[in-house]
Amino acid sequence: MLIRYLVTEILKLRRSLALILCLAAPTCVVILTTLMRLDKDGPVSLGMFGMTSAAFWAFAMLPLTLTALSVLLAQIEHGPRTWNYLLTLPGARPQLFLAKALVMLGLVIGMTLLLFVEIRIASAMMALVKPIDPAPAPFDLPTTLGKMAIASLLVAMLQLWVALRFRSFVPPLVFGIAGTFVAIAATSAKQGIYFPWLLAVNMLSQPERQDFALWMGGVGGLAVMLAMLVHLSRREA
Amino acid sequence: MSAALETSALTKRFGKAPAAVDNLSITVPRRAIYGFLGANGAGKTTTLKLVLGLLRPDAGSIRLFGKPRAEASARIGSLIETPSLYDHLTGRENLDIARRLLGLPPREIDRVLEIVDLDRSAARRRAGGYSLGMRQRLAIARALLGSPQLLILDEPANGLDPDGIRDMRTLLRRLPEIGDMTLIVSSHLLSEVELVATHVGLLHRGRLLVEAPLDQLRGDEAVEVATADPAQSARILIDAGFSVVTNRPANAPMLVTGAQPAAIASLLVARGQSLSHLSTRRQSLETIYHDQIGRAA
């Protein structure tokens, strides 16, 4: 039954704004960072270019995209009130919500892959028009982006929970924007490491902070997902 | 044979407000078209949501085809409140999603599209561009996937234009003929329900006022008779054993119950009475409704 729910959740993404967002968000980051690099004189460090792109992604675009994505995914059902149909079907309700969570997770992984591919394409294109700085990259790009995706699971599930709980798109939007803004203020704070919206950014800092953020984001995300499944499955439509 | 739906002392409250559904016991016989009537806020949708498992009852029980609700939920198709469709998908894609969730073969889509008379070119268009009538038909098509034995339609004619209402009526009448299907049609359009329902349940402030086959509720057919000399005509009919309703408003035609119009006409004409009006009439659902609501108040 979970497979059925998963397949239908994926089919619902056809022509949806959620899918367009997933294509647009990483592309925007790469276009912006590419323009910034091209604007500078001298050789281009591809390692730094990758790091700048990843930093933009983790700090601003990923949390804002998770906010918008959770809203758009939830509004696929809230907008036309399809819960009245979906929840009458025979089958376990937790599987329906689990399928939605897995699709959200899948889209985050998809955006991460797209970001990586686009950074590589942009790097190759820049090498054609600019001299390249041979200095090695300060970190392994695919590993870092992958860790960011895992660390963002906690925020992704918090956002999805709020978005599925409320029929209006305002509460999840306020929740996500507020989280991102608090994250900006908390960046330099000592306790900033614990703030869910900054967990992905921690992948660009010291290894011990990375490990902590990875665990908190991953395990915390799974715990929140379980709580969400229990809560939403018991709610009346 | 057990009923399609039986509720027993069903009760549902929202907060401290009076019960939305109060000790409700209804029985929907198999293969009936059950008109579930009541004003807005009477508790119709809440009852249907309880039957569908969208709400949990505070008290009482629900049995479907003799089994507890949860065991027979797969035998229900429904359209509650509005035709909830994915506007960014085509009609066919909407049905495909429901078909996959129910584990049905792809040919099931064509079957239900044919039943609701939605052509294939329309099914290839996005549901967001459908008229309300088409949306209702598509939502009913989705509810028909898997040939449910109980179809619950909440206000299916709401917001439709006259053509749409007529099409919906035709469709509802045809549905029980398609298979072993029972229909519950919730509505406040009494004239429409009167044209399709075989049974009626009337809800008022969460309580059931009356439940019966529609024919039984409307009573026997009466014949309205007007003549040049009503008093003489009435005496002739009473003497001949006809049942004449005498406490009628002034100038209203006389009402004769339990008789064929032809027998009344031939008797009166044979006795030299001059007939100016002869017609049959039954108690309308609207009359029954207002009568019952008036008594409850």
Is there a single domain that holds both residue B201 and residue B226?
Answer: no
Cα–Cα distance, A103 to A98 (Å, whole number): 9
- Domain containing B263 — which CATH number? 3.30.70
Which region among A17-21, A113-117, B153-157 has the lowest average model confidence (pLDDT)? B153-157
Indicate if the pLDDT at residue B296 is higher than 80.
no
Per the CB < 8 A criterion, the answer to whether B224 and B254 are in contact is yes
Indicate if the pLDDT at residue B250 is higher than 90.
no
CA A87 to chain centre: 27
Residues of A in contact with B130 (CB under 8 A): none
Per the CB < 8 A criterion, the answer to whether B134 and B113 are in contact is no
Tokens read off for A96: 């329906």
CA–CA distance from A11 to each of A74, A76, A144 (Å)?
Answer: 15, 12, 30
Q: Which of B78, B93, B96 sits opposite A88 (nearest CB)?
A: B78
CA atoms within 13 A on the CB side of B208: 18
Per the CB < 8 A criterion, the answer to whether B60 and B8 are in contact is yes
Residues of B in contact with A79 (CB under 8 A): 87
SS3 B42: coil
Is there a single domain that holds both residue B119 and residue B159?
Answer: yes
Is there a single domain that holds both residue B142 and residue B239?
Answer: no
B24 pLDDT band (50/70/90 cuts)?
very high
Percent of chain A scored above 70 by pLDDT? 100
Token pair 């229909």 is found at B183
Is there a single domain that holds both residue B205 and residue B59?
Answer: yes
Tens digits of per-residue pLDDT, A161-180?
A: 999 999 999 999 999 999 99
CA–CA distance from B47 to each of B41, B81, B285 (Å)?
Answer: 11, 12, 21
Cα–Cα distance, A60 to B123 (Å, whole number): 42
Is there a single domain that holds both residue B234 and residue B193?
Answer: no
- Domain containing B115 — which CATH number? 3.40.50.300
CA B72 to chain centre: 23
ipTM higher than the 0.90 cut: no
Contact B84 A80 (CB under 8 A): yes
Is there a single domain that holds both residue B211 and residue B231?
Answer: no
Indicate if the pLDDT at residue B23 is higher than 80.
yes
Range of the domain at A122: 2-234
Is residue B295 in a domain? no
Is there a single domain that holds both residue B234 and residue B211?
Answer: no
Is residue B31 in a domain? yes
Tens digits of per-residue pLDDT, B64-110?
A: 999 998 888 888 999 988 889 999 999 999 999 999 999 999 999 99
- Specify the number of domains making up chain B: 2
B248 pLDDT band (50/70/90 cuts)?
low
Range of the domain at B52: 5-217
| pLDDT (0 to 100) of residue B246 | 64
Residues of B in contact with A237 (CB under 8 A): 49, 54-55
Tens digits of per-residue pLDDT, A127-146?
A: 888 888 877 777 889 999 99
Mean pLDDT of A86-93: 85
Q: Give me the residues of A, 132-171, that contact B with CB < 8 A.
A: none
B162 pLDDT band (50/70/90 cuts)?
confident
Is there a single domain that holds both residue B146 and residue B59?
Answer: yes
Is residue B286 in a domain? no
Is residue B272 in a domain? yes
Where is the domain boundary, B217, B232, B267? B217
